[in-house]
Chains A and B, each alone.
Chain A
């Protein structure tokens, strides 16, 4: 590696009461893909904000191409050739692709926007990321994966030398992710450097030239290309040995807890769904984004009532017409969008945990405060939720602890069936492990667990059985003994399984 393109030397950033970064170093060479990994709160995002000029460092130096720099704003960082692509995209859905590419810096001739110029330049940039869409297309009509590529094209238009990507695949399908990786490799070949932040260690392994690990705001180690290994990365991030990540035990299967017959969802009415789950069983639902997995859960839970079919649970048939009806039968759902659907961020830990059981415990119309406090204490202990107190607002907790609050809300109801939609998305490794342990525990206690996951490892590690979906239908059912990446991918992409019994 020659002279580094970007150098971070001993950068420290303090927030009131917290040292977010404590003397960290980072080097990025030209045309290098550096993966930055670490648990939530390890300081990755803070460093990215410092690099992108969003926040200023308290101590330390930044060097770009051998010159020391300091950014007082995003524009200055852009001028120096650093572009940040946020996890949540910063695009205007109601504008065209071309308009998005040049938003805020439209090339103008005599005050008129040079439309022709914009379109030509947009075509060139889209070509660079291999995106075949019209510059006139409305951004909102593109898939998330394509929008992501538009964001990268936008970064390229600023002549970026270093592009920082924060969890770029968190909402992409597998094929979209693959496409993104190709673009990243292509950028690397063109001499553009990429700092890649991800929780998905498989991607990191496939993509990175070098891995830099942060822990608690400090450098926790570095791995060269040939040293990159899943377990080593986990150990460096967590700071301890993770011998057995998925601690599965054999489950005692009971009666059928949930039986679904001919369920037709609003989104895929042509494909009726049929399956059963037993008490004490953990079933994973695999498939690509858009396969109709979340829609199925939403229909079971009555969040988006199904058109037809029967859902048998707790000795009752019929279709749940609302979440309330589903809850009465003992069905619960941990939704995919934790902050938007699972939690009420402004409310306290206690208020969130007791929300679903308020009515059951109420004395007439009045709140049962004592019962509320008991539930909170019980659940905080049972799920080892880390919070300064029950009065803390949910938004101040980490992703893992927030997810535990959502679980606690349902456990207080002692449900028969627990539906989970991407239960570990955006949660750091340590907390992931805890969530898995909890899912295990619930199954042992006789709950039926049905979870949707886009992470193959998660399905293969946790499930007794997997349902694989493709374009709204269940294309196959795999027993634990039949699990393999090839089998699941084959079904998920619509292939037939030659089922060897």
Chain B
């Protein structure tokens, strides 16, 4: 709880500020959209949190989003696959990607930054080649399949809880149980803090590292799938660009330390919500201009991280 205090306060502050300054912010439509975006980006954040807690980093998330976001409609619309087999394929490929990253990092001892940076280039390049740089989408077809990304559980006539959010919450609950209630979660935190000590305590650290990359790539794939189902338009050259950075930023906002061994799922989800809320705020508040987006997001991120550090030092001093 104390670990997410700072980000929770930030969320409330930004929420109240936007409610006061923005137009129609509290309307059911907008609230639903905020949940939807938190769901979509939150999946990526939860995925990268696993890797970060384990002491690694994954820069290939945006490209995996692109690979799946373009690959699934490409398989369905151009290759005539059924949606089910296309999704199965996407999950299989992302599992392979995570496995591959993990093996290179543990067995060949390559640096995670390098491995996943190469991944970032390779998967985007492969997608562009596969889709021949063509925009991908489902046109007007496969409405039932797409409902997974577009529909919501209606609450009022204006407000519903979007499926992507429901899916993300489900993933978050499983992730929370994994990290806090299973021995594997404890192992992941242990190895993120001190891989050598964890290994010397009899933990199969390699297996845990590989698992964290698999989880990250598969959640990126699930995110990519929902992004394309939701938006229905993906261009191989730019779909998912920088999404790894949004995911990492949300994870850091939510209390993950890039040194490893620290982080909470709830924090990451709140961190994602703050990022999406800020973007929403910039569009809804009249005197905030859209070209200020990166400036505002960057400043808020930095202030939140600074406040967090100051709080931590105060607590440490009091000991």
Closest Cβ of chain B: how far from A209's Cβ, in Å?
39
Query: Contact residue range for chain B?
Result: 20 to 34
Which B residues from 178 to 198 make CB contacts under 8 A with A?
181-184, 186-187, 189-190, 193-194, 196-198
User: Could you give, for residues 237-271 of chain B, a 1 whenever the CB lies within 8 Å of some chain A CB and a 0 otherwise?
Assistant: 00000000000000000000000011000000000
Pick from A16, A322, A342, A344 the residue with the most CB of B within 10 Å: A344
- Say whether B201 contacts A409, CB under 8 Å: yes
**Hey, which chain B residues are within 8 Å of A342, CB to CB?**
197, 200
- Say whether B203 contacts A324, CB under 8 Å: yes
A17-B319, A366-B182, A396-B319 are known contacts. Are A344 and B190 too (CB-CB below 8 A)? yes
Closest Cβ of chain B: how far from A183's Cβ, in Å?
34
Binds B, one of A110-118, A128-136, A354-362, A454-462: A354-362
User: Could you give, for residues 316-344 of chain A, a 1 whenever the CB lies within 8 Å of some chain B CB and a 0 otherwise?
Assistant: 00000011101100000101000011111
**Hey, which chain A residues are within 8 Å of B181, CB to CB?**
366-367
B143 contacts the other chain (Cβ, under 8 Å)? Answer: no
Binds B, one of A31-39, A272-280, A345-353: A345-353
**How far is it, in angstroms, between the C-alpha of A324 and the C-alpha of B203 when the chains are bound?**
6
- Say whether A16 contacts B189, CB under 8 Å: no
B199 contacts the other chain (Cβ, under 8 Å)? Answer: yes
Pick from B183, B200, B317 the residue with the most CB of A within 10 Å: B200
- Say whether B319 contacts A347, CB under 8 Å: no
Secondary structure at the B interface, as helix, strand, loop or mixed, is helix
User: Closest residue to A332 on the B side, CB-wise?
Assistant: B202
User: Could you give, for residues 38-63 of chain B, a 1 whenever the CB lies within 8 Å of some chain A CB and a 0 otherwise?
Assistant: 00000000000000000000000000
**Hey, which chain A residues are within 8 Å of B109, CB to CB?**
none
User: Closest residue to A333 on the B side, CB-wise?
Assistant: B200
B286 contacts the other chain (Cβ, under 8 Å)? Answer: no
A303-B200, A323-B200, A367-B183 are known contacts. Are A355 and B190 too (CB-CB below 8 A)? yes
B2 contacts the other chain (Cβ, under 8 Å)? Answer: no
- Say whether B183 contacts A341, CB under 8 Å: no
A104 contacts the other chain (Cβ, under 8 Å)? Answer: no
- Say whether A355 contacts B194, CB under 8 Å: no
B289 contacts the other chain (Cβ, under 8 Å)? Answer: no
B291 contacts the other chain (Cβ, under 8 Å)? Answer: no
**Hey, which chain B residues are within 8 Å of A343, CB to CB?**
194, 197
- Say whether A340 contacts B183, CB under 8 Å: no
A365 contacts the other chain (Cβ, under 8 Å)? Answer: yes
**How far is it, in angstroms, between the C-alpha of A341 and the C-alpha of B183 when the chains are bound?**
20
User: Which of A341, A344, A351, A356 makes the CB contact (< 8 A) with B202?
Assistant: A356
- Say whether A355 contacts B186, CB under 8 Å: yes
- Say whether B194 contacts A327, CB under 8 Å: no
- Say whether A346 contacts B262, CB under 8 Å: yes
- Say whether B186 contacts A351, CB under 8 Å: yes
What is the size, in residues, of chain A's interface with B at 8 Å between Cβ atoms? 30
B318 contacts the other chain (Cβ, under 8 Å)? Answer: yes
User: Which of A341, A365, A366 makes the CB contact (< 8 A) with B197?
Assistant: A341
User: Closest residue to B196 on the A side, CB-wise?
Assistant: A341
User: Closest residue to A334 on the B side, CB-wise?
Assistant: B200
B204 contacts the other chain (Cβ, under 8 Å)? Answer: yes
**Hey, which chain A residues are within 8 Å of B194, CB to CB?**
340-341, 343-346
**Hey, which chain A residues are within 8 Å of B184, CB to CB?**
365
User: Closest residue to B194 on the A side, CB-wise?
Assistant: A344
- Say whether A345 contacts B201, CB under 8 Å: no
- Say whether B189 contacts A303, CB under 8 Å: no
**Hey, which chain A residues are within 8 Å of B317, CB to CB?**
16
- Say whether A367 contacts B186, CB under 8 Å: yes
User: Closest residue to A326 on the B side, CB-wise?
Assistant: B202
- Say whether B197 contacts A344, CB under 8 Å: yes
**Hey, which chain B residues are within 8 Å of A344, CB to CB?**
190, 193-194, 197-198, 261
- Say whether B204 contacts A340, CB under 8 Å: no
**How far is it, in angstroms, between the C-alpha of A325 and the C-alpha of B317 when the chains are bound?**
42
**Hey, which chain A residues are within 8 Å of B201, CB to CB?**
323, 355-356, 409
User: Could you give, for residues 308-319 of chain B, a 1 whenever the CB lies within 8 Å of some chain A CB and a 0 otherwise?
Assistant: 000000000111
User: Closest residue to A409 on the B side, CB-wise?
Assistant: B201
**Hey, which chain B residues are within 8 Å of A324, CB to CB?**
202-204
**Hey, which chain A residues are within 8 Å of B193, CB to CB?**
344-347
- Say whether A303 contacts B183, CB under 8 Å: no
**How far is it, in angstroms, between the C-alpha of A341 and the C-alpha of B195 when the chains are bound?**
8
- Say whether B197 contacts A340, CB under 8 Å: yes
A16-B317, A16-B318 are known contacts. Are A346 and B200 too (CB-CB below 8 A)? no
Which A residues from 356 to 376 make CB contacts under 8 A with B?
356, 358-359, 362, 365-367
**Hey, which chain B residues are within 8 Å of A362, CB to CB?**
182-183
**How far is it, in angstroms, between the C-alpha of A498 and the C-alpha of B262 when the chains are bound?**
58
**Hey, which chain A residues are within 8 Å of B204, CB to CB?**
322, 324
**Hey, which chain A residues are within 8 Å of B319, CB to CB?**
16-17, 396
**How far is it, in angstroms, between the C-alpha of A355 and the C-alpha of B200 when the chains are bound?**
11
**Hey, which chain A residues are within 8 Å of B183, CB to CB?**
358-359, 362, 365-367
User: Which of B186, B196, B261, B318 makes the CB contact (< 8 A) with A346?
Assistant: B261
User: Closest residue to B204 on the A side, CB-wise?
Assistant: A324
Which A residues from 5 to 23 make CB contacts under 8 A with B?
16-17
User: Could you give, for residues 199-223 of chain B, a 1 whenever the CB lies within 8 Å of some chain A CB and a 0 otherwise?
Assistant: 1111110000000000000000000
Pick from B183, B196, B317 the residue with the most CB of A within 10 Å: B183
**Hey, which chain B residues are within 8 Å of A355, CB to CB?**
186, 190, 198, 201, 203
User: What are 10 A-B contacts defined by CB distance under 8 Å?
Assistant: A16-B319, A324-B203, A340-B194, A341-B200, A344-B193, A347-B261, A356-B201, A358-B183, A358-B187, A366-B183
Question: Besides the contacts A346-B193, A358-B186, A367-B183, what 14 more A-B pairs have beta carbons closer than 8 Å?
Answer: A16-B317, A323-B202, A324-B204, A341-B196, A341-B200, A342-B197, A343-B197, A344-B190, A346-B261, A346-B262, A355-B190, A356-B202, A362-B182, A365-B183
Closest 7 CB pairs of A and B: A327-B202, A358-B183, A365-B182, A324-B202, A355-B201, A344-B194, A344-B193
